[in-house]
Structure 1
């Protein structure tokens, strides 16, 4: 039986690959795929964003190599940053 952390890691991997490869490189997220992932998996987060260009800004921030796509490593950076932000929010408001 997998530990909670192993299960969380498996979920991160599966979510990425569920959305990647629908168009273009199957190991990367296009802007359209990233937007779909964010809307489906982090809809509450996006709803709180007042900036209509939030997805575009996220894409630009994540796409470190400038290829117009988000690879798995860049995706993990997003998840880690959001997790840190959520941790801070929940611990400060507990």
Structure 2
């Protein structure tokens, strides 16, 4: 039986691979795949952003190796940053 944290890690991995590889490298998210992931998995976050270039800005910030795609390591940076940003909100709500 998996712990809560192991289950969460498995979910993060599965979500990444659900969207990666639809076009091009199966171990990276193209801009289109990244946008699909954000729209499906973070719809509330994107809805609250008034700037229509949010996806472009996130992609540029995450793409450390500047290959125009988001690999798994870069994706984890996004998840970690969002988790840190949401920590106090969810902690105070419980």
Q: If the TM-score is normalised by the length of the shorter chain, which range does it land in?
A: over 0.9
- Structure 1, residues 6-59: CA drift from partner, whole Å, max 9, x if none? 000000000000000000100000000000000001101111111110000000
Question: Counterpart in 1 of 2:90?
Answer: 90
Figure out how many residues of one structure are paired with residues of the other and give that number. 94
Name stretches of at least 5 consecutive residues in structure 2 with no aligned partner: none
1:15-54 equivalent positions in 2, closer than 5 A: 15-54=15-54
TM-score, normalised by the number of residues in structure 1: 0.95
The RMSD of aligned alpha carbons is 1.1
1:58 and 1:70 mapped to 2: Cα distance?
Answer: 10
Partner SS for 2:52? coil
Query: Offset of 1:68 from its aligned partner?
Result: 0.1
Q: Report the TM-score when normalising by structure 2.
A: 0.95
